Amino acid sequence: MKKIIAYSIPIVILGFFVLIMTTGQILKKPMREGEDVANYISIIVEDVKEENWNRAEEDRQKLVTAWGKIVPRIQFSVERDEIYNININLARLRGIIMGKDQAGALAELGEIYENWRELGK
């Protein structure tokens, strides 16, 4: 009996950690209102195409808030560099929107979306 317990405890713990580390794709999906990162990216793309910079900044703030809600859920199941890259993209996007650079904003949004799509793969 002691042998079974001695073997099962490490197996259960390892299984638990493997489960946590492989759930990045599931955990990044929106679970509540205001967590749909991909939707906010597409909304900002439309704002930038229409050159509605005030609305783009408001939606960028919503995107940052949504990203802030997702990060704690996925921080153990994705690489730290992936999270860091999206944080950098969001910071750059802020400056680009302030500068009202349509081409730069669209390029940065494309990169954010690609980083988001590859997150947890």
Confidence (pTM): 0.83
Fold of the domain built from segment(s) 2-118: Four Helix Bundle (Hemerythrin (Met), subunit A) (1.20.120)
From the list 40, 13, 15, 115, the residue with the least C-alpha distance to 74 is 115
Averages of pLDDT over runs of 10 residues in the chain (121 residues) are 84 86 76 89 96 96 95 87 94 96 96 90 74
Give tens-digit pLDDT for 92-119. Answer: 999 999 999 999 999 999 999 999 998 8
CB atoms within 10 A of CB 21: 12
Domain range annotation of the chain: 2-118
CB atoms within 10 A of CB 84: 11
Q: What pLDDT, on the 0 to 100 scale, is given for residue 113? A: 95
Q: What pLDDT, on the 0 to 100 scale, is given for residue 65? A: 95
Q: Which residues contact 96 (CB under 8 A, 6 or more apart)?
A: 104, 105, 108
